[in-house]
Amino acid sequence: MNYKTIILSLGGSIIIPDKINVVYLKKFKSLILGLVKEGYRFIIVTGGGDICRHYQKSSRLVNSKVSIDDLDWIGISATKYNAELIRAIFGMQAHNTVLNNPTKKIKTDKKILIGAGWKPGCSSDKDAVLLAKAYGAGLLINLSNIKYVYTADPKKIKSAKIIKQIKWDELLDLTGRKWKPGAHVPFDPEASKLAKRINLKVVICLGTDLANLENIIKDNKFSGTIIS
């Protein structure tokens, strides 16, 4: 496995918490470009975030029989909007198109590649895992709006405990094993199943803490949950 190629699953809620977080994106860009100079390559996969869920919810209000696939296509479109934004902010430093098939490795000398959702039946987390498999990356970092995985939703259950390290089967027991469009889970169950099969290491962390992200990448002490 190549730890110099890092997969970043960048949550849509980090890109757009309520409006596009320009201050964060400037700092994120600066960090990534600095790490590229140190020899790292990044594949950044964008999520859909709350905008995706808002569109999905609205479609259900108009058509209560909207299909699961159609809900997923709404989510995929949201991830692609976010991906084009991230691709644009890196300009010539990134590959000039968003990756449209996470199972195929493209030929490029660029050190920054951008991916998004691909097909219904999963979230962009699975696309990130597929890219890790295609590019031989040994580490995937999920930049989320939570600092750790917990034993339960800490917003609802005050006694929920932090989990610093967990096995894939244990995580699936927490999240359930079936994907639901727009689901709020630390990591998509379909992505978890694939990550387990390919022996991928995943770290869930607070995406807005860029100093912590650098620590994870450089294998220093960090805050987050390791899944393996």
Q: What's the token pair of residue 199?
A: 């022996």
- What's the full length of the chain, in residues? 228
Of 54-68, 134-148, 153-167, 181-195, the poorest mean pLDDT is in 181-195
Q: What distance in Å separates the CA atoms of residue 11 and residue 14, rounded to the nearest whole number?
A: 5
What pLDDT, on a 0 to 100 scale, did the predictor assign at position 91? 98
**Mean pLDDT score, 107-131:** 94
Of 92, 129, 95, nearest to 112 by C-alpha is 95
Beta bridge partners of 94: 112
Contact 41, 174 (CB under 8 A): no
Q: Is the pLDDT of residue 5 over 50?
A: yes
In the chain, what percentage of residues exceed pLDDT 90?
A: 83
What pLDDT, on a 0 to 100 scale, did the predictor assign at position 179? 79
Q: Is the pLDDT of residue 202 over 60?
A: yes
Residue whose structure tokens are 């803490």: 209
User: pLDDT for 58-99, tens place per residue?
Assistant: 999 999 999 999 998 998 999 999 999 999 999 999 999 999
Of 117, 108, 102, nearest to 49 by C-alpha is 117
Of 227, 228, 225, 224, nearest to 212 by C-alpha is 224
Assign 153 a pLDDT band (cuts: 50, 70, 90): confident
Structural domains of the chain, with CATH? 2-227 (3.40.1160.10)
Task: Indicate the DSSP class of residue 219.
Answer: T
**Mean pLDDT score, 184-207:** 94
Q: What distance in Å separates the CA atoms of residue 53 and residue 49, rounded to the nearest whole number?
A: 7
What pLDDT, on a 0 to 100 scale, did the predictor assign at position 1? 45
Q: What's the token pair of residue 67?
A: 């299909």
Q: What's the token pair of residue 165?
A: 């390290």
What pLDDT, on a 0 to 100 scale, did the predictor assign at position 185? 85
pTM over 0.85: yes
Contacts of 146 (CB under 8 A, 6+ apart): 186, 204, 206
User: pLDDT for 168-195, tens place per residue?
Assistant: 999 999 999 887 776 778 999 999 999 9
What pLDDT, on a 0 to 100 scale, did the predictor assign at position 3? 53
What pLDDT, on a 0 to 100 scale, did the predictor assign at position 209? 98
Q: What distance in Å separates the CA atoms of residue 18 and residue 51, rounded to the nearest whole number?
A: 9
What pLDDT, on a 0 to 100 scale, did the predictor assign at position 182? 65
Q: What distance in Å separates the CA atoms of residue 136 and residue 2, rounded to the nearest whole number?
A: 6
Contact 85, 10 (CB under 8 A): no
Q: Is the pLDDT of residue 28 over 70?
A: yes
**Mean pLDDT score, 151-166:** 92
Q: What distance in Å separates the CA atoms of residue 149 and residue 227, rounded to the nearest whole number?
A: 10
